[in-house]
Amino acid sequence: MAEKLSAVKGMNDIAAPESAHWEWLEAKVRALMSRYGYRNIRTPIVEPTGLFVRGLGEVTDIVEKEMYSFEDRLNGEQLTLRPEATAGVVRAAIEHNMLYDGPKRLYYMGPMFRHERPQRGRYRQFHQIGSEALGFAGPDVDAEQITLACDLWAELGLSDVTLEINSLGQPAERQLHRAALIQYLEQHQDQLDEDAKRRLYTNPLRILDTKNPAMQALVEGAPKLMDYLGAESLAHFNGLRALLDAQGIDYRINPRLVRGMDYYNLSVFEFVTTSLGSQGTVCAGGRYDGLIAQIGGKPAPAVGWALGVERILELLKAQNLLPALPVPDCYAVVPQVEAMPQVMPVLRALRAAGVSVQMHAGGADGHGSMKSQFKKADGSGARYALIFGASELEAGEVAVKPLREGAGAISEQTQFALAQVAQWAAQLRQA
């Protein structure tokens, strides 16, 4: 026998019936995005490595430790499996001159890749859904982005999701705060863990986001970026707050809230939950006004967010909100394989009329007895069995047998004419 091969650790197959929950979530997102005027964009999963080095920052954890990068053996190009989608969306907008006729509202869905220890709701291949608004400068679109996410939680029925917001100001303001933060942390180097010591001079802002309990008091006493913001940055932040207040959206200002990528400025936000243990962030984003120019485009403002699909599905499961798995309306029981030429056109007509039908098909051990077919019909979850027996077909009919009490409009076994499918198909769809 050939050696059995398995998927790469942390890169998982998503098969039925679980995949139905993914389809359900994606359909909810597509419908909501459409109502907000956001349009779908699909970018490659492989991008030039330089896009992420330049866009995310050389000293970020993603670039330093987590990217799947390789050299293309055909031409020597340095390529990377995308660790996030924003940089790719911006690259596409620049490459195709998308902003030539005005700002754009976009959304995406797809796999991302990071070489990290797999954990609950986060894997080496994981999936994100995100929205990006390119070319909008005001806090109104920041508020729209947050409102969009809030409406998604409501659409899904989720509770225990809390909004936290902060402002990172502009680069010059962050530089003043960075100098004060480094000076403060240098005075307490004996309290820094190894990760904080590594970041002290490269990315000290990320130290404020530490999850180490031993450093919480130190972080609480650190200089706050909000105290270094100028009038324009404060006006933008206060504008966002006013728009959230006007809609009755609850939030908490978290002065320690930062982002892992270098491209963020002004508004940043996270949606967090206590239902998933320590991995509490389910959606995060913010404004990244400098990224388009940083990647080589004409300067333009932008704001966006991304959510982890696996994590949202975990949260839906924890709150018992996942929908029932889909089942067919009918299961076609066909005792004689010779009847298939007569049966299959009828099933096709039913499907064209909107009735979902699972057809019994022969296996390696033959077509199966009537008893075994009824057992499979019951196991399929279908509400009705369509019986195409010899006597029914001879009369030009099919017998419809309810498999579950109170499951639909037909309450007892009934005969229907094969030539009049359109007339009785609607009854099979009625719950």
The answer to whether 84 is a known ligand-binding residue is: yes
Report the C-alpha gap between 168 and 229 in whole angstroms: 8
Quick check: helix, strand or coil at residue 399?
strand
Q: Which residue is associated with the tokens 């998503």?
A: 14
Contact, 105 vs 130, CB < 8 A? no
Structure tokens at 32: 């909501």
The answer to whether 251 is a known ligand-binding residue is: no
Report the C-alpha gap between 179 and 307 in whole angstroms: 32
The answer to whether 384 is a known ligand-binding residue is: no
The answer to whether 128 is a known ligand-binding residue is: yes
The answer to whether 86 is a known ligand-binding residue is: yes
The answer to whether 85 is a known ligand-binding residue is: yes
Q: Which residue is associated with the tokens 């597509």?
A: 30
The answer to whether 201 is a known ligand-binding residue is: no
Report the C-alpha gap between 243 and 378 in whole angstroms: 53
Report the C-alpha gap between 385 and 398 in whole angstroms: 10
Quick check: helix, strand or coil at residue 115?
coil
Give the number of other CB atoms < 10 A from CB of residue 123: 22
Specify the long-range contacts of residues 347-352, CB closer than 8 Å, at least 24 apart. 347/386, 349/421, 349/422, 349/425, 350/421, 350/425, 350/428
Contact, 329 vs 357, CB < 8 A? yes
The answer to whether 132 is a known ligand-binding residue is: yes
Binding-site members are: 84-86, 114, 128, 132, 259, 263-264
Residues contributing to the annotated binding site for L-histidine = 84-86, 114, 128, 132, 259, 263-264
